[in-house]
Amino acid sequence: MKMMIRWSWVFVMVLITAVGCGDGDGMGDVHGDVFTASFSVRESIEQLQVTHAAPGTTLGLYAADGDLIDEGVIDDLGSLIFRLVPPDGRYYIETIDAVDSEKSGPHRVMSVEGSVPPQAFYDSQVLKRGFNYIETRDGTLLSAYVVLPGPPENGPYPTLVNYSGYDPSQPGAPFELDDINIEFLCIFFPILCDVPNHPSGLIAGLFGYASVGVNMRGTGCSGGAYDFFEPAQLTDGYDVIETVAAQPWVAHGKVGMAGLSYPGITQLFVASTHPPSLAAITPLSVIADTARSVLAPGGIFNDGFGLAWAEGVLDGADPYGKGWEQALVDAGDTVCEENQLLHGQKVDLIAKALESEFYDPVIADPLAPSTFVDTIDIPVFLSGAWQDEQTGPHFATMLDKFTGSGVKRFTMFNGVHPDGYTPQVLTEWKSFLDFYVARKVPRIDNLMIIMTPFLMEFELGASMPLPQTRFAGYTDFDQALADYEAEQPVRIIFENGTAQGLDVGAPVGGFEHHFDSWPVEGTTALRLYFQPDGSLGDSPPTVSDSASTFRHDPAEGGRTTVTDGSIWDLQPSYEYAPLLEDRAVAFIGEPLDQDTVMIGTGSVDLWIRSTATEADLEVSLTDVRPDGQEGYVQSGWLRASHRHLSDTSTELLPVHTHLEADAEDLAPGEWTEARILLMPFAHVFRAGSRIRVSVDTPGASRAEWQFILADLDDQVRHSVAHSSEQPSSVVLPIVSGVDVPTERPACNALRGQPCRDYVPSDNAPE
């Protein structure tokens, strides 16, 4: 019966398409006739997908009036996708210049709004433990892997969905712990004998949650073709949530979402479609804006991680690109085999990104979570690291935009990309999910607390305890929930890597503080001016004509700060070189007379003059300590022609439009003001430390970010003014009222923040 209901929905959609209702053409003219062809056509969201056609054949897409809208050539797998087809019209597909002409249609393209299936469509799908396929509204089948924390009959279980283009649906395998046989632990934690291919699934299973890992269309064994957060990918996410939530083994008929990085970002997009059965999301290590956050920070393409990530995802979206699909096909999975046919129709993200160096709101706004997170109306738990070597720190600029969610929890810290999966975050993650997905008083099983140090030692190289939740002693859920929701939502963990009793660099903070909002309430702007002698001062310079100069370094864009080992090591092998003579200018303040806490964004407001029409600029904030060490805090970047500011800019937050219409070259030899965003950070400058700000060519400041610099030679010189007429300065976010209970940590202990010997700069005069 369930299968009949499900397929009846598909039949209705096909029937509507076949009769071509709604445009008033009638069936009498030639364009109202029904045509069939040897190739297959699937009607999708703003797409028509052709399969089983003769490779090399040219097909045309025609409107009902006979106008040619688009054409394309069938690929080697017999497939072609017509994209960006306006919905609700009636279309025909016909061979062009073929000896034996074929025609198919009429076909109706789905719209996002008009394609939502009835609840019976979701209710009819049955997902079992192990490998499955989930059908979406256009008939595409997405591969999914279901892991339960116990027998189905012992459910229902609170359930989390991980949805991405990685490998979440790859069949699971037993947990491997060197040469130790841990099969006996499967009695207590069945997840250990069926570990899914996404960390959130393993962690969820250890906490008693079911998980469902789903591959996006065009990846793994899922059908369709890959494109970066296209509308069909979002509606698929909606359908996945509703299908999973309809399973009898899912508690409360609602699910949460989990995942770090790509599957973290995905949660923001899926939540924006408002699936009724999505209870909460927990995005970790995410972005605010595809372009500004990581692909082209400051308008400069990041090919160290941004474009390299896109290339990796694209390679994985090839037919059999993940590597594990073939084994399933060889074992008889004909669905996976059929689904590979459209994978060759993936969209080239890299070519798409490099088409223009400017921000196109039509293309980029839908890919920027900061433009739509205000519409998310369910509880949100989000965490991220200021020095994240992959997705970066820019995520924090959108935290104040989650205005539609009544419950928010933000946890931020110095550190690296995977640090959301560490005990200091996971206890809070578990508490949040227990409240809003499991609907129970948060509590962690004692056996899990005992096991965690061993698991952390194996996975992260540091034995770290898992704190029990602060609600473990509650017996009344409503009271626990009320107390939780009364807590301050913003949590800042300071000096990650310095916790007493743990290995140096272990991802646990030295102390933390909580706040009511982001940006932190009561933040004051401290403006320090660049001085002719290389110092930072409270007042503008008094001299009327003064500047320092440095040469552009074409090789700097390819340099990083880690050349051996991994940035995830407790103490990475950093190569954090001193500033090069004549390649940078730097300004340093007097020793601070008290501990100074900074939380938020900053602005480096430069007056620049160049011998060229362009300048790629990097600014960095460092902590020069009394022991002669200099510790990295944060950086920012800007291509000078992108310097135009949005009306939303503030003293502490310069926001650049990056629009082609706003771009303006530098006039060689003339002074120009350019404000550079100092990315979000939180840091304690201890008494005795000195604040240092440097300006140079982008590069050698991040572990994995590299930059495609403007085509300038090493004789190009950029000047930074420090005069009464052109007073360059830095504006920093000072937060008072934060107790600093710990001593100054060792410089190399701060996670994600490399150290070097402090070398004074002799700024070259212009």
Q: Which of 83, 115, 147 is the last residue of a domain?
A: 115
More confident: 27 or 274: 274
Cβ 172 vs Cβ 191: under 8 Å: no
Work out the percent of the chain whose per-residue pLDDT is above 70.
95
Nearest residue to 231 (alpha-carbon basis) of 220, 215, 217 = 217
Per-residue DSSP letter, 369: G
We report the CATH number of the domain holding residue 67 as: 2.60.40.10
Based on the number of CB atoms within 10 Å of its own CB, is 415 exposed (0-12), middle (13-18) or buried (19 or more)?
buried
Instruction: Answer yes or no: is 257 within a domain.
Output: yes
**pLDDT tens digit sequence for 269-293:** 999 999 999 999 999 999 999 999 9
Instruction: Answer yes or no: is 491 within a domain.
Output: no
Beta carbons within 10 angstroms of residue 646's beta carbon: 13
Instruction: Answer yes or no: is 193 within a domain.
Output: yes
The CA distances from residue 52 to 76, 318, 492, in Å, are 10, 18, 55
Tell me what the mean pLDDT of segment 437-460 comes to.
Answer: 92
Same domain, yes or no, for 102 and 218? no
Same domain, yes or no, for 582 and 672? yes
Question: What is the pLDDT at residue 354?
Answer: 84
Same domain, yes or no, for 170 and 75? no
Instruction: Answer yes or no: is 351 within a domain.
Output: yes
pLDDT at residue 413 above 50?
A: yes
Instruction: Answer yes or no: is 212 within a domain.
Output: yes
Q: In what order do the strands lie in the sheet with 490-494?
A: 130-135, 141-147, 210-215, 159-164, 255-260, 278-284, 380-385, 408-413, 490-494, 511-515
pLDDT at residue 535 above 80?
A: yes
Phi, psi dihedral angles at 49 (to 5 degrees): -115, 120
pLDDT at residue 26 above 60?
A: no
Per-residue DSSP letter, 745: P
The residue count of the chain comes to 766
pLDDT at residue 30 above 70?
A: no
Nearest residue to 574 (alpha-carbon basis) of 750, 386, 385 = 750
Tell me what the mean pLDDT of segment 735-758 comes to.
Answer: 96
Question: What is the pLDDT at residue 100?
Answer: 85
CA distance 247 to 253: 8
CA distance 506 to 485: 30
Question: What is the pLDDT at residue 383?
Answer: 98
CA distance 62 to 759: 68
We report the CATH number of the domain holding residue 336 as: 3.40.50.1820
Q: In what order do the strands lie in the sheet with 755-757?
A: 584-588, 690-696, 616-624, 629-639, 755-757
Tell me what the mean pLDDT of segment 555-566 comes to.
Answer: 91
**pLDDT tens digit sequence for 300-349:** 999 999 988 989 999 999 999 999 999 999 999 999 999 999 999 999 98
Same domain, yes or no, for 742 and 596? yes
CA distance 633 to 692: 10
To the nearest whole number, what is the mean pLDDT of the chain?
93
Phi, psi dihedral angles at 44 (to 5 degrees): -135, -170
Instruction: Answer yes or no: is 503 within a domain.
Output: no
Cβ 550 vs Cβ 581: under 8 Å: no
Question: What is the pLDDT at residue 175?
Answer: 85
Domain total of the chain: 3
Instruction: Answer yes or no: is 591 within a domain.
Output: yes
Contacts of 29 (CB under 8 A, 6+ apart): none
* Cα torsion through 589, 590, 595, 600, rounded to 10: -10
Phi, psi dihedral angles at 619 (to 5 degrees): -120, 145
pLDDT at residue 11 above 50?
A: no
Q: Which of 79, 100, 115 is the last residue of a domain?
A: 115
Show the CA angle centred on residue 223, arms to residues 132 and 194, nearest 5°.
30
pLDDT at residue 126 above 80?
A: yes
Residue 458 tokens read as 């194996």
Q: Which of 51-55, 173-177, 255-259 has the lowest mean pLDDT?
A: 173-177
R_g (Cα) of the chain, nearest Å = 28
- What count of Cα atoms within 13 Å lies in the side-chain half-sphere of residue 257? 34
Find where tokens 């029904």 sit.
34
**pLDDT tens digit sequence for 650-702:** 999 999 999 999 999 999 999 999 999 999 999 999 999 999 999 999 999 99
Helices (H), 344-461: 349-354, 361-364, 423-433, 446-460
Q: Which of 8-22, 34-48, 406-420 has the lowest mean pLDDT?
A: 8-22
Banded pLDDT at 176 (limits 50, 70, 90): confident
The one-letter code for the residue type at 574 is: Y
Question: What is the pLDDT at residue 32?
Answer: 59
Give 50's strand partners: 41, 80
Same domain, yes or no, for 723 and 581? yes
Same domain, yes or no, for 14 and 155? no
H or E element that contains 132: strand 130-135
CA distance 198 to 258: 10
Same domain, yes or no, for 139 and 104? no
Same domain, yes or no, for 561 and 528? yes
pLDDT at residue 2 above 70?
A: no
Q: Which of 115, 148, 175 is the last residue of a domain?
A: 115
Same domain, yes or no, for 228 and 82? no
The CA distances from residue 747 to 185, 218, 631, 686, in Å, are 40, 46, 6, 12
Per-residue DSSP letter, 434: I
Helices 262-271 and 231-245, packing angle to 10 deg: 80
pTM above 0.75, yes or no: yes
Dihedral over Cα of 422, 428, 431, 435: its sign:
negative
Residue 478 tokens read as 């409503």
Per the omega criterion (within 30 degrees of 0), is the bond before 106 cis? yes
Cβ 766 vs Cβ 719: under 8 Å: yes
Same domain, yes or no, for 241 and 384? yes
Work out the percent of the chain whose per-residue pLDDT is above 90.
88
Domain that holds residue 100: 2-115
Residue 57 tokens read as 């054949």
Same domain, yes or no, for 314 and 254? yes
Residue 161 tokens read as 């969905």
Same domain, yes or no, for 241 and 123? yes
Cβ 391 vs Cβ 704: under 8 Å: no
**Residue 35 Rama label (left phi>0; alpha psi -120 to 50; beta):** beta
Cβ 689 vs Cβ 611: under 8 Å: no
CA distance 764 to 766: 6
We report the CATH number of the domain holding residue 758 as: 2.60.120.260
Contacts of 284 (CB under 8 A, 6+ apart): 259, 260, 261, 264, 382, 383, 384, 420, 421, 425
Instruction: Answer yes or no: is 165 within a domain.
Output: yes
The one-letter code for the residue type at 251 is: A
Cβ 91 vs Cβ 61: under 8 Å: yes
